[in-house]
Amino acid sequence: MIQSPFITLASGAVSRLPETPEQAEAWHQWSAAEIDALTLAYAARRPLLVRGEPGTGKTQLARAAAVHLGWKLHVETIQPRFEPGDLVARFDAVRRLADAQA
């Protein structure tokens, strides 16, 4: 059985999101719904699609989850005419290798 790292979070807990070159320092307050959704997605080994209007915290949720997991977040805004190959073409493997070596 897969133990979700999100199980340690409590509703109302606040996480610090450190400053990155792309984003300022911020804070995220976890809700029970967010914790449940992330726990289920992690257990199912499936991605979590988060939808909503601009400014509702979708990127912040992804950022908070990445910080909690110790992962780096790569943000990509999906447009109506977006094709899967567009994401691959925008991914800079050489830069990622350089970042990994730094």
Q: What is the pLDDT of residues 42-100, one digit of tens each?
A: 999 998 989 889 899 999 999 999 999 999 888 877 788 887 777 666 667 788 888 88
Q: What is the DSSP string of 6-47?
A: GGG--TT-EEEE---SSS--EEEE--HHHHHHHHHHHHHT--
pTM of the model: 0.74
Domain coordinates of the chain in residue numbers?
5-76
